[in-house]
Amino acid sequence: MATPDAPLLRALRGDRPERQPVWFMRQAGRSLPEYRELRVGTRMLDACLTPHLAAEITLQPIRRHDVDAAIFFSDIVVPLRLAGVDVVIEPGRGPVFADPVRTADDVARITAIDPADVAASAEPVREAARLVTAELDDAVPLIGFAGAPFTLAAYLVEGGPSKEHLRARGMMHADPASWHRLAGWLSRVSRAFLDAQIDGGAQAVQLFDSWAGSLSPATFREFIAPHSRAALEGIEVPRIHFGVGTGAFLDDMRLGGLADAVGVDWRMPLDEAAALVGPDVTLQGNLDPALLGAPWPVLAAHVDDVLARGRAARAHILNLGHGVPPDTDPDVLTRIVAHAHGELEAGELEAGELESGARA
């Protein structure tokens, strides 16, 4: 397991380590050819719940990119699967639920499931985390993660992916009691999933609220923040809270100071974000994923700009403003890490001419 001096853990405490901490959301899998080869013939949720596969996929980016943290390979709907909810991940579409949760009776049905069932069935998650932490060196911690209550509810209520999450947002106002019952249950489900990863050795956690940007600030504060806070409250490892499109209520993403770090998407410069959240929280982000396909000098200048703006925060973890697009050239990610670590300059190395030591 990583020592307290690991760069990522220092940054989460508010220190500025000599080595700039870097990791990427969706770095486990997605763009890696070794991931695609390993996944042949295995469905996504089956891979997530097969310990040796989940561990190997988690470790692949560490070997290839030299990032400063491993992010546990799983999916935000895995805890719902562990709770016995009928969900599949359809390739090219995403999570699809056989029985959407849209009425008060639906909410009563699903919340009758004891979140302790997630903990009881999560041994594959604990074992995968144990396998990962046994392989990591003392400078690289494992980050556990879970979906935030709103993002999980958005899938559950819609029955699958949606652009505007109209049914989920509508439930909040049409039937607030059912909404709070559902979101409260989801916060306990997410917490059980996080606890399983911590039991396996995760030394930090991140709560993902991918769809929070569809909410108004007032709606987030009333209907979402209390449940996200409940998912993280009492956790004894550092906590990162990330949402997409949350610039309008970025300070609320601190969850009343509960979050040690707030993730920022690509829309808001980090110096502006630092002015909003104040001096007692670390910022994470916020490279624009669209620039991963730009010429290297353009991308390197963008990395430098993000790093410079990140100095306005108490500490900064370099990451993307969202996840790695699946068609990303993995060598680009390796070059970003090397550049952030001071191992190459913007004008060095033509495409494909990575130093041999940067390869897996």
What are 137-149's pLDDT values in tens digits?
Answer: 999 999 999 999 9
- Count of Cβ atoms closer than 10 Å to residue 292 Cβ: 20
Do you find a cis peptide bond into 286, omega within 30 degrees of 0? yes
Q: Which residues contact 174 (CB under 8 A, 6 or more apart)?
A: none
Nearest to 322 by CA among 30, 14, 13: 30
SS3 43: coil
Torsion of CA 263, 264, 265, 269, to 10 degrees: -160
Q: Are strands 261-263 and 239-243 parallel, antiparallel or unpaired?
A: parallel
pLDDT value of position 147: 97
SS3 194: helix
Query: Averaged over 325-347, what is the pLDDT?
Result: 88
- Domain parsing of the chain, residue ranges: 7-343
Active site residues: 26, 30, 39, 75, 155
Between the alpha carbon of residue 103 and those of residues 184, 185, 287, the distances in Å are 16, 15, 40
One-letter amino acid at 112 equals A
One-letter amino acid at 99 equals D
Q: 7-343 belongs to which CATH class?
A: alpha beta
What are 117-134's pLDDT values in tens digits?
Answer: 999 999 999 999 999 999
d(CA 318, CA 15): 14
Query: Averaged over 143-165, what is the pLDDT?
Result: 94
The model carries a pTM of 0.94
Instruction: Match 């080595």 to its residue by tokens.
Output: 19
Terminal Cα distance for the chain, rounded: 21
Strand partners, 286: 319
